[in-house]
Amino acid sequence: MPRKKPFSNKQKKKQLQVKRERKRGDTGSGPSSRNASLERGERQSDTSDSETTDVKRINQQPFSRDGRYDPNRFRLHFEKESKEEVERRKKLARDTVLQPVSDKELEVDINDIYPPDKGLGFPRRPSWTYEMTRESLLRKEEKSYRDYLEDLHSRNPIGTLSHFEHNLETWRQLWRVLEMSDVILLIVDIRHPVLQFPPDLYHYITAELHKQVILVMNKADLSPPPLVIAWKHYMTSQFPHLEIVCFTSHPGPSYSTVLQKRRMRRKADWSRAGGLKDLFKACQDITAGRVDLSSWEQKIQRDAAAERLDGEAADGAESVLVEHQTDSALEMSNPAQELYKDGVLTLGCIGDLSKHQNVPHSFIRTQFGKENL
């Protein structure tokens, strides 16, 4: 008897999906089928795309036309590269022989990463009023974003820009966070924070929105202490009014081996994260008594006491008040928001989400606890 051909899990899922659609009477092209949703996603007109670039949409998700939530709203949009260009760069990487250089040659000035004449800023939200309808506001934002992309590509030849988000919905989320927040936490990887710290964004928040930025250098445990001090000194010298906090979920000595790193991470706990007191102190200095932060301070003290008791939780502990805002509530946020409204401090987290999608969520969970999210 011949042996059966191997059947992968992916093929099995596809087979079960076809059976379910057949039972519902679908032929694979109905309005709720996966194929139909993929086709709809490719046919949908997206005003966030530049007219001068070819954009590739990835992470397409199936969805029903009758559903209220569109999972593809924040789908990644990146500029598409030709196969010839990809092959050319592959060949160049294989043929190039790397030579060791001195540490001095590895140093790069922040103005070399973000040249002022290249327009490497971020798209601003155009001005608006409450008299405008939602449709007119969206059209104005779309036009402003198209103008931004056209100006950016006119200043930079093809192939000189790195990949960046072309989906306007992603930028709209950034606008909402900046407008709704009193203090902005800009989270970067301490191994090279300059690559994730756009000066144009910092100057916009501080000079135009008149809000404070706290630079959170994440993963401080992965860098030796002299390098951490050097980065803090450099960023402070470039941006004198910038508050800087070093953060790590795994405080303690630097890892010397991979095995030691794994052992340390298994013992890690959110309540033992390093940098909590520094962040609280920075927010306390910024608010200058205009906001009652006592519940936050008490939580930090309880966590420290519980750590001394080897992880035993304190009984009857009060939680930190955390207020949530839905997308619909943020749709038409106040362009001139009052700081610390009703005595509440609103923190906004932004960071390098292309590589660390869960960084802001994990960071907030560390501060206020999982039960308060």
Pick the closest to residue 246 from 191, 166, 181 (CA basis).
191
- pLDDT one-digit tens code per residue, 13-39: 777 777 776 666 544 444 444 444 434
CA–CA gap between residue 12 and residue 79 (Å, rounded): 34
- pLDDT one-digit tens code per residue, 202-217: 999 999 999 999 999 9
Quick one: pLDDT band at residue 329, thresholds 50, 70, 90? very low
295-300-306 Cα angle (round to 5): 120
Contacts of residue 261, defined as CB under 8 A and 6 or more positions apart, other chains included, come to 255
Average pLDDT for 85-108: 87
Domain boundary assignment for the chain: 22-91, 181-372
For the 181-372 domain, the top CATH level (class) is alpha beta
CA–CA gap between residue 316 and residue 22 (Å, rounded): 55
Average pLDDT for 140-166: 88
- pLDDT one-digit tens code per residue, 79-89: 777 888 889 88
Average pLDDT for 222-236: 90
Quick one: pLDDT band at residue 5, thresholds 50, 70, 90? low
Reading the block at residue 55, the tokens are 């954009």
Has residue 221 got a pLDDT over 90?
no
Quick one: pLDDT band at residue 254, thresholds 50, 70, 90? low
Average pLDDT for 252-280: 60
Query: Which pLDDT score, from 0 to 100, does residue 335 have?
Result: 55
* Beta-carbon count within 10 A of 319 CB: 12
* Beta-carbon count within 10 A of 347 CB: 19
Contacts of residue 20, defined as CB under 8 A and 6 or more positions apart, other chains included, come to none
Average pLDDT for 109-128: 88
Has residue 361 got a pLDDT over 70?
no
Pick the closest to residue 280 from 299, 305, 252, 307 (CA basis).
299
Average pLDDT for 295-313: 74
- Mean pLDDT over each residue of the chain, to the nearest integer: 75
Query: Which pLDDT score, from 0 to 100, does residue 52 have?
Result: 42
